[in-house]
Homo-oligomer: A and B are copies of this chain.
């Protein structure tokens, strides 16, 4: 089980008692949980300008009021989520908040959209990062999909090693990106102040724009809001923080909010002032950097850290998905395996599932996952809206001291989130309609799974009243293929159990073999009854099953149990198994699942 390769990749297994050492301090948590949010600075402003550009470059001044709107929403979200963190210190974020305050279905809708969203995060961000790499190194371009998959595998392995270890490795690029952008913004402002940049490159704020419409402005605002995806990650991952977890998480969230606000508004402002417009082959950040520094080392530093953070945004998904899956699994809404801690104390099944699903998405879209971005943004604003609304209900119900202020904060948050969600649905319906198909599907699955677990639990529970019928005796059926040590071994075992009836069964394909075998058997094991079954279709399992059915029918009348005992030799080397007929495996699985018989395998280990 603990192969050397596994050990090399993910490290030695950790004891359950070492869990505390796997927690994150604020510095690492900020890096690992905010990479998704911060990375959106690399594409969010561009999305706004892309929408405005459909009118004319004159309309670019609208990016300033739009950015103010986004900042306002960001502030509301950060304040709201701070309240969620303190109210729900065990994490779970939107799922737990919605479930507890709004009921099961809103909770499942929030949980389901976030689960899907984290998968989209990984696929989208890794694809975007790969594009950045292959734009810089064009000879790698035809390997785009392969590179993206390799990156997902690497991040998956890092996550399996454990959250703190991956945080240590991945913290540098995040901080380097922040430093790079701060340098860019600082230098840009210095240039503006010193007049290096002419002030006539942009249309002044308030310039009338022909053809502008509310629809278009709303669309631009919604696009800008896609920069806010990832803000909720910290509230899902509170259990990963060092104690006092809620306090540390809240502080980290605030710092992240401030950083995001500075970088986002800075990039929007510089882009506006420089009069930059989106280009097919060059990002806004790249244009700003090259106009500020030329194609110097600083330019490449900014581009490099941007590519890195796009890839690392995936890491936020890897931190939040397994914890959310754990919460859903604890409540029996998804398979229980998501609640088991792996070797390194992470919820490894969740991590592996996330990696596998993202790879499937990348393959399905051949790496062109940007089509998924609107879907992804909608998937974020659904839980945003639900969790804020849940908090509203909580404050109204509980009325703690100062609840009016808390209520106001969440009310504002809920309204803006709802507004953005509606704008998305209205302005980008052609891209986001799948959400109306997969969300109901997922919620239905959740309920079915829960129902199944409950039904199983009910059926397994022992009630004092019911007394099962006692077993009156046993019949053993032993399929035999020849007169060998393997069969001898099984027969001896069967005899040692003192069973009432032992029946050896031989399935033969050729009539002439049958008589010969019966004669030999008579000499070898005269005391054990041999039944010969003729198979016209060269199948072993069919005649055998038919025979077992007959026996089982008779046995159940007398309350006897039927055991099928399968003699099996085990070769010394594993690869030898492919040289032997694996029908015993099939027979075993078939009988166990399809018939009410007990299956015993008696191994005979070869020595050479």
- Chain B nearest CB from A35 CB (Å) reads 29
Q: Identify which of residues 196-214 in chain A touch chain B, using a CB-to-CB cut-off of 8 Å.
A: none
Contact B449 A579 (CB under 8 A): yes
Known: A493-B598, A592-B570. A455 touches B608 (CB 8 A): yes
* A452, B574: Cα distance in complex, Å: 12
- Kindly specify which of A76-84, A355-363, A534-542 makes contact with the partner chain: A534-542
Identify which of B462, B474, B602, B604 contacts A488 (C-beta below 8 A): B462
Contact B536 A17 (CB under 8 A): yes
Contact of A515 with B by CB under 8 A: no
Contact of A3 with B by CB under 8 A: no
Contact of A600 with B by CB under 8 A: yes
Known: A1-B541, A498-B498, A590-B1. A16 touches B509 (CB 8 A): yes
Known: A15-B537, A449-B579, A579-B335. A542 touches B340 (CB 8 A): no
Nearest-neighbor residue (CB-CB) of A582 within chain B? B337
Contact of A556 with B by CB under 8 A: no
**Chain copies in complex:** 2
Query: A336-362: contact bitstring with B at CB < 8 Å (1 yes, 0 no)?
Result: 110011110000000000000000000
Contact of A497 with B by CB under 8 A: yes
Contact A606 B456 (CB under 8 A): yes
Query: A567-606: contact bitstring with B at CB < 8 Å (1 yes, 0 no)?
Result: 0111100101011110000000010110011111111111
Contact A537 B497 (CB under 8 A): no
Q: Which residues of B contact A499 (CB under 8 A)?
A: 497
Contact A468 B493 (CB under 8 A): no
- Kindly specify which of A120-128, A260-268, A478-486 makes contact with the partner chain: A478-486
Q: Which residues of B contact A509 (CB under 8 A)?
A: 16
* A455, B572: Cα distance in complex, Å: 11
Q: Which residues of B contact A571 (CB under 8 A)?
A: 452, 456
Known: A1-B539, A592-B601, A598-B600. A459 touches B16 (CB 8 A): no
Q: Which residues of B contact A597 (CB under 8 A)?
A: 603
Known: A462-B488, A488-B468. A598 touches B601 (CB 8 A): yes
Query: A1-22: contact bitstring with B at CB < 8 Å (1 yes, 0 no)?
Result: 1000000000001111100000
* A433, B495: Cα distance in complex, Å: 60
Q: Which residues of B contact A524 (CB under 8 A)?
A: 462
Contact of A492 with B by CB under 8 A: yes
Contact of A364 with B by CB under 8 A: no
- Chain B nearest CB from A582 CB (Å) reads 8
- Count of chain A residues with a beta carbon within 8 Å of a chain B beta carbon: 77
Contact of A138 with B by CB under 8 A: no
Nearest-neighbor residue (CB-CB) of A335 within chain B? B579
Query: A274-298: contact bitstring with B at CB < 8 Å (1 yes, 0 no)?
Result: 0000000000000000000000000
- Chain B nearest CB from A573 CB (Å) reads 8
Contact B473 A460 (CB under 8 A): no
Q: Which residues of B contact A495 (CB under 8 A)?
A: 471
* A449, B471: Cα distance in complex, Å: 47
Identify which of B337, B453, B537 contacts A16 (C-beta below 8 A): B537
Contact B452 A468 (CB under 8 A): no
* A590, B603: Cα distance in complex, Å: 12
Contact of A330 with B by CB under 8 A: no
Nearest-neighbor residue (CB-CB) of A593 within chain B? B570
Contact B598 A602 (CB under 8 A): yes
Contact A538 B468 (CB under 8 A): no
Q: Which residues of B contact A570 (CB under 8 A)?
A: 592-593
Contact B337 A13 (CB under 8 A): no
Identify which of B343, B453, B536, B603 contacts A592 (C-beta below 8 A): B603
Q: Which residues of B contact A1 (CB under 8 A)?
A: 539, 541-542, 590
Nearest-neighbor residue (CB-CB) of A588 within chain B? B601
Nearest-neighbor residue (CB-CB) of A342 within chain B? B538
Contact B459 A537 (CB under 8 A): no
* A313, B468: Cα distance in complex, Å: 65
Q: Which residues of B contact A242 (CB under 8 A)?
A: none
Known: A16-B537, A601-B599. A460 touches B486 (CB 8 A): yes
19 contacts between A and B (CB under 8 A): A1-B539, A1-B590, A16-B536, A16-B538, A336-B580, A340-B538, A455-B606, A455-B608, A456-B569, A456-B580, A459-B606, A461-B485, A462-B483, A462-B488, A470-B496, A471-B493, A471-B495, A563-B600, A598-B602
Given contacts A337-B581, A600-B601, 6 further A-B contacts (CB under 8 A): A453-B579, A459-B485, A460-B484, A471-B496, A498-B498, A570-B593
Q: Give A residues with C-beta under 8 Å from B.
A: 1, 13-17, 335-337, 340-343, 449, 452-453, 455-456, 459-462, 468, 470-471, 473-474, 482-486, 488-489, 492-493, 495-499, 509, 524, 536-539, 541-542, 561, 563, 568-571, 574, 576, 578-581, 590, 592-593, 596-608
